[in-house]
Amino acid sequence: MNRYLLLIFARNPILGKVKTRLAKSIGDENALEIYQQLLKHTVSVTKNLPVDKRVCYSESLVENDIWPDNVFQKQLQKGDDLGLRMQHAFHTAFEEGYQKVVIIGTDLLELQQAHLEKAFQKLDTCDFVFGPADDGGYYLMGMCALKPPLFVHKKWGTNSVLEDSMKDLFGEKICLLETLNDIDVVEDIIEIEAFKKYLK
């Protein structure tokens, strides 16, 4: 068994249930189209990563979808909010014997395989690694041991999440990756050529 695991938190691509903040500006159908493109991109930059990979679905498990069953493990998210769902996923991974666990979402057109490789490398010398997002949150978090405070008392989806997480890790060695654009609202897609057609 590979001792490294990438957790991918993904929403099932259901009309009206994805990119809801973005949908307020461009409509549900356009938001779903963008999310499907983001999912395809995430598959493309993760499928060849030489670690175990697990897609954590928001609503229901799906076989034979864009996440090939022979490449990606699959499980359902469990918990009442994002923090508890992430905590459950990390806890399960460490219980299974994984030594380095990294989590990402599916909202990053800028994400490349190299960012993920670097995150796992950083955990050789750091206790925790984060990929900061432009909006004050993070697009990636990795650790070698479970740290429960990271998953509670956070205002998920706000610009204080990364800062609040850093406070939980006082005294720990933290490494940061480069800051990327996490696509949540219409302002996040204005500069993206592939998405400009949705702004008309």
| Stated length of the chain | 200
Q: How many Å apart are CA 169 and CA 127, to the nearest integer? A: 9
What is the CATH topology of the domain spanning 4-199? Spore Coat Polysaccharide Biosynthesis Protein SpsA; Chain A (3.90.550)
Tens digit of pLDDT for each residue in 133-151?
A: 998 899 999 999 999 999 9
Nearest to 88 by CA among 185, 9, 21: 9
CA-based max dimension of the chain: 49
pTM, to two decimals: 0.95
pLDDT reported for residue 158: 73
Tokens of 115: 């960012």
Tens digit of pLDDT for each residue in 84-95?
A: 999 999 999 999
For the chain, give every domain's residue range: 4-199
pLDDT per residue, tens digit, the chain (200 aa), is 569 999 999 999 999 999 999 999 999 999 999 999 999 999 999 999 999 999 999 999 998 899 999 999 999 999 999 999 999 999 999 999 999 999 999 999 999 999 999 999 999 999 999 999 998 899 999 999 999 999 998 888 778 899 999 999 999 999 999 999 999 999 999 999 989 999 87
pLDDT reported for residue 157: 73
pLDDT reported for residue 1: 55
Place of tokens 């549900």: 28
Nearest to 182 by CA among 93, 115, 87: 115
Report which residue type is found at 61.
Answer: L
